[in-house]
Amino acid sequence: MLDFSLVNVLGACLIITSMAVVLARTGRVSAQLYALQSAVLVALLVALGAVTGSTELYMWSVSAFVTKVLLVPGILLFTLRKVGDSAEVDLAPKLSPMKCVGLVAVEVFVCFVAVSGIDLPTAAAVKPTLAVALAHFFIGLTCIVIQRSIFKQIFGYCLMENGSHVALALLAPQAPELVEVGIATDAIFAVIILAVMVCRIARTTHTLDADDLAELKG
């Protein structure tokens, strides 16, 4: 029997997979793990659809599968192929894995505290997952800040976008499909343009190291 506890378990899986995306050593593995995380997101949407009886969520899960499990990882893997040997992609992050895990733990805790103050009937049963959705913003931000490779910084944005998607599904499961399509389409365009910029930078400067791209200061 499906209930909200399954949704919350899948929410916990989202945190684990997002940590894996951030900590992966290579861009290729990060892209594959992001596809895995998106698959968890799709499962969460299906579970939530079954629990709430919202048919819109089934439609969302289909579009999320196409855009997040297939398209975005595909675009990112294609970008890796385009960059090729012109620049080093797999640069180690600025923070050690242990420190990174500690930072994320603090972020998740703070988000749980923040969400505990919310009094919204639709969110009452899924507060842990709502906290996870909120935490994805800070995990995404952490990814952008700690990654030296600008290619890997793209995953930070993708994680933040997944957080929004989960929050929308939790708080407004009856939202029109158009809302979800608008957000997903915009995210795809953003990832494409980020990928184009990475290719241009690699071709022009032969580096994807954020530290090398820090001449503009002051």
Residues sharing a CB contact under 8 Å with residue 205, sequence separation 6 or more, in sequence order: 87, 212, 213
With beta carbons less than 8 A apart as the criterion, state whether 48 and 3 touch: no
Sign for the CA dihedral angle at 41, 43, 45, 48 comes to negative
- For residue 149, the cross-strand partners are 209
**Among 213, 20, 4, 15, CA closest to 131:** 15
Could you say whether residue 53 binds another protein (CB under 8 A)?
no
To the nearest whole angstrom, how small is the minimum distance from the Cβ of residue 1 to another protein? 26
- For residue 209, the cross-strand partners are 149
To the nearest whole angstrom, how small is the minimum distance from the Cβ of residue 2 to another protein? 22
Number of residues in contact with another protein under rule CB under 8 A: 47
Could you say whether residue 216 binds another protein (CB under 8 A)?
yes
To the nearest whole angstrom, how small is the minimum distance from the Cβ of residue 16 to another protein? 21
To the nearest whole angstrom, how small is the minimum distance from the Cβ of residue 105 to another protein? 21
> Which CB sits closer to another protein, 98 or 209?
209
Could you say whether residue 118 binds another protein (CB under 8 A)?
yes
User: Exactly one of 122, 126, 139, 155 binds another protein (CB under 8 A); which one?
Assistant: 122
3-state SS assignment for residue 209: strand
Residue type at position 44? L
User: Exactly one of 108, 117, 126, 128 binds another protein (CB under 8 A); which one?
Assistant: 117
Could you say whether residue 112 binds another protein (CB under 8 A)?
no
Burial readout 152-163 (b: 16 or more C-beta within 10 A, e: otherwise):
bbbbbbbbbbbb
Q: What residues numbered 156-195 form the site for another protein, per CB under 8 A?
A: 156-157, 160-161, 163-164, 167-168, 170-172, 174-176, 179, 182-183, 186, 189-190, 193-194
- Give the pair of three-digit tokens for residue 35: 């596809």
**Among 108, 103, 88, 72, CA closest to 192:** 72
Could you say whether residue 114 binds another protein (CB under 8 A)?
yes
Binding site for another protein (CB under 8 A): 114, 117-123, 134, 137, 140-141, 144, 150, 153, 156-157, 160-161, 163-164, 167-168, 170-172, 174-176, 179, 182-183, 186, 189-190, 193-194, 197, 200-201, 204-205, 213-216, 218
